[in-house]
Each structure stands twice: as structure tokens, then as C-alpha cells.
Structure 1
Amino acid sequence: MRILIVHNRYQLRSGEDAVVDAECELLRRHGQEVHLFLRDNRDIAALSVARKSALLWRTAWSRQSYTDLLAELDRLQPDVVHVHNILPLLSPSIYAACARRRVPVVQTLHNFRLYCPAATFFRNGHICHACVETSLFAGVRHGCYRGSRAQTLAVAAMLRTLHKPAGPLASVSRFIVLTHWHRQRFAALGLPQEKLVVKPNFLPDTEPQQRTPADYVLFIGRLAGEKGVLRLLDIWQHLPDIPLRIAGDGPLRETVRTRTDELPQVRVLGRITPERRAQLLAGARFLVVPSLWQEGLPLVVLEAFAAGVPVAVSDLGALPAVVPPDCGVHFTPLQSRAAAAKLRAFNADAAALQNASRAARREYQTTYSSATNYRMLIAIYEQAIAEASP
């Protein structure tokens, strides 16, 4: 099978970028012919002021992307095109190019970008559905995309283009969503339910490191409001005797460091290498995921499962379904005292931690292994190709 992957990479490497790379490697390892049509947001910094300004309007429709992809489709003659992120350098024009050449399209929905300029349904510390309930342009007033009203306007214009009747999204044969919770959510938002298929993220098969749990709890993630890291610090004010390690970087870096000056049991590690990440997971009593937005399927949870590490997650969105009760514990991050009590009890229960460790590893092997994921992905491609056949 000849597969063309279309993706706009992020300025800072994201979980979405990692998923794209992992799927490409998985497909190639099984003998599939994989080609890439990529753009990279790191290239924006080198653009002139005039070209950066023009980019705001090309976000809604890039003639250059349309022309370039047409040429690539003519050259490669792919069986299927798999689209991930298109913002801001690719634009909805790539769907029109595929439709013109009658190539079936599969689209992975990693987040809520189709309906929210910020992609998170999250604003000012709370879940927000204003762009769904009122207008796609509701976020412009708040500058929901990168804190900029101009850039948010450009993204909203892109979304309006996508949602036109018989518009670009009509050419998508299958939408991949990460959980059954997301399938229900996107169907409620208006996507055709028959086109929504569930395929979770995965991790390459590896043997876990020897588990030697130390005394700390671990957070790994972007230091941003929607990830709940500040709420996590509120919780840890009530846990002075339980060490917490925070690994990652992001816009709240300095705020987190300032807050932890008053919390001696908390250490901020900053950005870490993959090797250090694996070491920290192997030594953690459990991973904590205090997200305040309705997460997709965080790769760090799958890493924890693969390593046999229990996981404590926020009770929002899909996370309670992603982490079954036997693999960890659920808590409400906005209720700091109650959350602290639940996490303290989990941390003190050696038998529960040991059982959750074994269950987490089983969950990885049965649901998130590369073999399972490959079968699911190929089946989705075959469905899209079959429907497009005359």
C-alpha cells in the first residue's frame, strides 16, 4: 500500500508529532510504502514581516499548499492520504487537492481544533464551548489562539472554510478518534458517526525497565494551564510529606518555579531526555495527570502503562475511561483537599500500587501495543480505499 502522510509539525515538538513519526515507522516496518508531505512551524521564524502577515490569510486557504500537494499526488499516485495537523502552513486546501485527484482521505483528530481555535475547549481555567454554542469567531475577542486576536481570527476563518456545506471535510472518508468518548463527542458536534472510527495512540513494543519505585510521585507534561500543573501544586500544599517531581517545560515555567519555592517536597526538573524520562517513570510510585481540559490520549499515560506504572488521572473527559480503576485512581483536580486525601490514600496502599502496576502493563499489552495498532490502522485505510473504488 502506498500511503502519503500529510502533517504540519509544531514549533515545539508535540505528542502529535511523536504519534506521526511512530505511525510512519510502524507502517514502514510492516513493508508499507510511506511518503511524507510536511510543513514545519519552526520555518515561520525565518519569514519576512510581509510573508508572516500574508500567512494569516493563507491559513484559511493556501494556494501554494494546494498546488504543491497536487504535484505530489500526481508524482506518487498514493492509495490513501492520511492527514494530521494542517495549521497554519497547509490549510484546508489540501483536502481540495485530494478530492480533485479522487484520493481517499483519512484524518486523525488529535484534539478539538475542528471546533475550537485553541484546540482544547479550555479558557481562563475552565471548560469553554463558546465557539460551538455561539460562533466559531467567539474566540477572537479572547485571543484564544496564542494570545493573539489576529491569529485567532485567521484560525476561525480556517474553521469556517472547513465547515462549509459540502466543503473540504466532505472529502474525508474516515475520521480517526482516540477513544470511544471522543467518538461520541465528535458525533454530537456534527461529524457523521459512520465516518468516526476509534484507534488509540500506541507505543513501540519495549520491555519495561526493572521497577524500583522510590518515594516520589511524577508529573511529566507541558507546563500550561490546561495541563493542570498549578492545580497540582495546590493539591501538594496538603501533601508536605510526599515528594513530587515535575518534568517538562512551557509557558508557566517561571510561575511553577516560583510557587515551588514554598513547597520543599516539590522539585522542578525542566525539560528531560527520553532516557531520563524512562528512568523517572521506572522509579515513580505513580504518575499523576491533573488535566483541566478534556484530553485526547496523552502519550505519557501509555508510557506509564508500558512501564507498569500506576496512573492517577483527572476525572474529566476521556481520562477515566483511558485509566481503568484497576490501573490507578481518579480525582477531581479542582477540589484540592479531597484530591490530596485520595492521592495520599493511594500512595500509602502498597498492595493497591502493586496490583495497579501489573494491571497497567496488561492494559498496554492488550490495547496499546504496536501489533494491535497496526491491524487497526490498516483496516481503516482499507475501508477508505474500498469506498473510493469505482
Structure 2
Amino acid sequence: MSLANKRVLVVAHGHPDLNKGGAEMAAYNMFNEFRRQDVDAFFLARTDQKPHGGAAFSSRNSDREILFHTTMDDWFLFSNIKTRHMWQEFRDLLMLIKPDVVHLHHYFLLGIEMMQEIRTSLPKCKIVLTLHEYLGICHQKGLMVKPSGKLCYKASPRDCHGCFPDKQPGDFFLREQYIKRIFSVVDQFVSPSAFLKQRYVDWGLDFNRIEVIENGQLPTDKLKRDDSPLSKVRLAFFGQINPYKGIDVLLHAVKSLPKKVQYQLSVEIHGANFELQSGQYQKSTHKLLDQLTHVVKMCGAYEAREMPKLLSRVDWVVVPSKWWENSPMVIQEAFTQKVPLIVSDIGGMAEKVLDGINGIHFGAGNAMDLARVIESVVANRALQNEYSANIRPPMSIEECINQHADLYL
């Protein structure tokens, strides 16, 4: 459906030039596809960089890419308290651009009141919000994981108080009501996975207000893979590095393998923000890495444009996350290059990767089960080609935009 007469403002909580998360990339890819299709689109991204002269906004790359220099002061309600004087400048920006559609890919770090400001300033504007995780439901960084590490299946004020004793059940009740009140101004929600949609429906959002649309992928060339029969089985992890992404599960799994299997493996870990994690997490991870230098290589951060080349050197991508996930972009990126995956058997990972068809599931957080799977793909190398042949191309960014267009009208 044509967006020829629509002006669209895409909003993200970070610019991919400055923040490497999947939600930021999903938002930016949409903006760039809009521009490729000659849609009148702007991109607004929050940044914590200090602006020149104290201005609320600056530009990056072009005058259509705008940085919003703001902070989030209340991490419980996602509210901007100390910087509310900046909202007038945000209103001025809205009135200057006058978008017909504002598509938010987050409210985290921006301030959840942003949605109310849009509705107040532009009553006829269509507001679309993509839900990338469970922040509205869960105060634990939107992970729905208890302090013990156990998965949380449903939030309630009393259970949330159990995770955060410094907050009373009444605090969580009021938090939920406040977030739902702000959400009431949203015309349409988008969820990249059916799993995440159901979590929000269970929480109380209307089933019919949430459309499931996968994050679209940019067109890339399929690079030739090294299929030498004498090469090692090559596994790789891609993504943010933090305690919930399961790097420790992967390392413990590799460590538990017999030496003869280890020497038939090559494991690469590609990811950012390891240096931002707690000292204890870094220490325990380095200890495992030091014991596996003959197998595992820590490769550091990577750029999105490098993914095709990196994936061309990989037999399997491992996604060992210990939280539900939603729709890890690396799954779609791997499918684009026809690389099968080994993933935790929960959440969006289990939804996107079909066990025994285009990848393999293992018990989430279970290093021994992951070791079993790794040993099986080393012993039976034909599985890689078999599962690779079953991979279907993921949704393109063009198709993604087309599906969103119906929501904008």
C-alpha cells in the first residue's frame, strides 16, 4: 500500500552509529527503506552525548537524522522528571515536522511520556509502537527473569515485590496502571514474535491491537561458504555480551566436551559491551576463556555490514540466551546466509528456529545439553548441509515496510 502522501517519523532509543542493539538497527533499517522508497521520513534517536550549546537536538549524517539529547530519570516508570523542560522543544520539533505517523521502536531512555506528548500535540497522528522486549511488564530490565535466574511466566504486583523487596506490591500495581494509561494513546502495537505478543496479551493488552511483523532484513549477497571437509566445525556467537545472553552456558558446554571433540571445534564470540559488565562477570568469563584458548576466540564488537562475511566462515550460529528473547536479529541474519542455528528452547528463539528442520534446540541454561548438541554436529557434519537446505529466506525489509504500511493508514 502506498505511503506517498504520508510523512513518517521513526523513533529509536539510540542511533546505530552510536548504539549497536537490534532494536536500533531495526528502526534505522526501516527509516532507510522508507527513504529508498521516496517516503517522506525522518529518524529521531536518543543520545546521551552532550549537545553543543545545550541544544535538545542535533543532526547526524543528514538533516533527516536527528539526535535527541535527553535522559531518563525514573527507571521504574521510564519517566523523564528532571528534564521535562525539554518536552517543549520536543513539541516544537513535532510541530515543525508534523508527521502523519510516528513509529516508536522504544520509549526506554526517551521517556514514556513521549507518547502522550505526541497525542496531545498531534491528535490525528497515527502512533505505532514496536514492542522489542518485556519492559512494560517487568522491572527486571524487561527480561522476565527472577533474581534466582529462573524464568518468570507472568507478572503480578506481589510476585514483582518478591523480586524487588524495596518496592511494595502497590508500587507495582500503580506502575502497571501508569504504563497502560500511556499505552492507551497508541493506535497499534507491533510485535516481532507471536511469543512476545502473547506475553503482552496475558498482561492485559488487547489481542487485536498487536500485529505480529518480523523485523525485515536488508538485501545482502549470499557469500560462498568454505566447505572443506578437513576444516573444523565452526560455531559462533553474535550479539550483546551480558549475563543473560548465555556466554557462560556456551563456554561451560565447550569445556565439558572431550578433548578430542574440542580440537575438532572452532568457537568465535563476536559481541559488544563486555567491558561494561560487572567485574565478577568479567572475571569468571575470562577464567573460562583462559582454559579454552585452543578452541574459543573472543573477537570483540562488529558492524552490521560485516555480518555476511563473518557468517560465511561459520557452520552454526549459537544463541544460548537464558531469557525469553523476542526475535534476535542474528537469527534472521543467519537465515539470510543459510546458516543453521543452535538455540535455547524458549521464547522467540524456539519460535523462529524449528528444531530438527533449520536448527537445533537445547535446554535453556543447560550446558550439558548444549554440549550434547555440539558433540552431535561434530559427529555428524552432514547435519549442517541438511538443515541449511531447509532454511527459507527471512522477511525482507521491503516486505516488512509493506506490512507496516497497512497499519499506518
TM-score (norm 1): 0.83
Paired residue secondary structure (1:172) = coil
The match for 1:259 among 284, 288, 304 is 288
Question: Match for 1:66: what amino acid?
Answer: W
Aligned to 2:111: 91
Q: Indicate yes or no: 2:39 matched with 1:9.
A: no
Paired residue secondary structure (1:207) = coil
Greater fraction helix: 1
Question: Match for 2:401: what amino acid?
Answer: Y
Q: Contact (CA 8 Å) 2:254, 2:371: kept in 1 or not? A: yes
Aligned to 1:376: 403
Higher mean C-alpha deviation, range 166-175 or range 186-195: 166-175
Q: Contact (CA 8 Å) 2:31, 2:41: kept in 1 or not? A: yes
1:1-390 equivalences under 5 Å are 1-9=6-14, 12-43=19-50, 55-56=73-74, 59-61=78-80, 63-88=84-109, 90-100=110-120, 101-102=122-123, 103-117=125-139, 118-124=141-147, 125-128=149-152, 132-134=156-158, 140-141=164-165, 160=174, 163-164=177-178, 167-213=181-227, 214-215=231-232, 216-239=234-257, 240-241=262-263, 242-249=265-272, 250=274, 251=277, 252-263=281-292, 264-274=294-304, 276-325=306-355, 326-360=357-391, 362-364=392-394, 368-382=395-409
Paired residue secondary structure (2:23) = helix
Q: For 2:46 and 2:37, how far apart are their aligned partners in 1?
A: 26
Question: Match for 1:201: what amino acid?
Answer: N
Q: For 2:157 and 2:370, how far apart are their aligned partners in 1?
A: 31
Q: Is the alpha carbon distance of 1:223 and 1:53 closer, same or farther for their aligned partners in structure 2, counting shifts above 3 Å?
A: closer
**Cα distance, 1:71 vs. partner?**
1.8
Question: Match for 2:116: what amino acid?
Answer: A
Paired residue secondary structure (1:163) = helix
Paired residue secondary structure (1:284) = coil
Q: For 2:288 and 2:218, how far apart are their aligned partners in 1?
A: 36
Question: Match for 1:116: what amino acid?
Answer: C
Q: Is the alpha carbon distance of 1:87 and 1:370 closer, same or farther for their aligned partners in structure 2, counting shifts above 3 Å?
A: closer
Paired residue secondary structure (1:226) = helix
**Cα distance, 1:172 vs. partner?**
0.4
Paired residue secondary structure (1:35) = strand
Higher mean C-alpha deviation, range 4-13 or range 202-211: 4-13
Q: Is the alpha carbon distance of 1:135 and 1:235 closer, same or farther for their aligned partners in structure 2, counting shifts above 3 Å?
A: closer
**Cα distance, 1:130 vs. partner?**
8.0
Q: Is the alpha carbon distance of 1:350 and 1:166 closer, same or farther for their aligned partners in structure 2, counting shifts above 3 Å?
A: closer
Paired residue secondary structure (1:55) = coil
**Cα distance, 1:59 vs. partner?**
4.8
Q: Contact (CA 8 Å) 1:136, 1:159: kept in 2 or not? A: no
Give the superposed CA RMSD: 3.1
**Cα distance, 1:278 vs. partner?**
3.1
Identity of aligned residues (%): 21
Q: For 1:159 and 1:74, how far apart are their aligned partners in 2?
A: 35
Q: Is the alpha carbon distance of 1:55 and 1:246 closer, same or farther for their aligned partners in structure 2, counting shifts above 3 Å?
A: same
**Cα distance, 1:349 vs. partner?**
2.4
Q: Is the alpha carbon distance of 1:161 and 1:27 closer, same or farther for their aligned partners in structure 2, counting shifts above 3 Å?
A: farther
Q: Is the alpha carbon distance of 1:65 and 1:107 closer, same or farther for their aligned partners in structure 2, counting shifts above 3 Å?
A: farther
Paired residue secondary structure (1:64) = helix
What whole-Å deviation, never above 9, does each CA across 1:271-295 have from its counterpart, x for those lacking one? 2344654333111110011110000
Which 5+ residue runs of structure 2 have no aligned equivalent? 1-5, 55-69
Question: Match for 1:272: what amino acid?
Answer: Y
Q: Is the alpha carbon distance of 1:159 and 1:76 closer, same or farther for their aligned partners in structure 2, counting shifts above 3 Å?
A: farther
What whole-Å deviation, never above 9, does each CA across 1:130-168 have from its counterpart, x for those lacking one? 8535276665558xxxxxx9xxx9xx9899567339722
Q: For 1:33 and 1:203, how far apart are their aligned partners in 2?
A: 21
Q: Contact (CA 8 Å) 2:73, 2:80: kept in 1 or not? A: no
Question: Match for 2:142: what amino acid?
Answer: A
TM-score (norm 2): 0.79
Q: For 1:134 and 1:96, how far apart are their aligned partners in 2?
A: 28
**Cα distance, 1:257 vs. partner?**
2.5
Question: Match for 1:350: what amino acid?
Answer: R
Q: For 1:292 and 1:190, how far apart are their aligned partners in 2?
A: 25
Q: Contact (CA 8 Å) 2:256, 2:368: kept in 1 or not? A: yes
**Cα distance, 1:343 vs. partner?**
2.4
- Tell me the number of residue pairs that the alignment of Structure 1 and Structure 2 aligns: 362
Q: Is the alpha carbon distance of 1:6 and 1:336 closer, same or farther for their aligned partners in structure 2, counting shifts above 3 Å?
A: closer
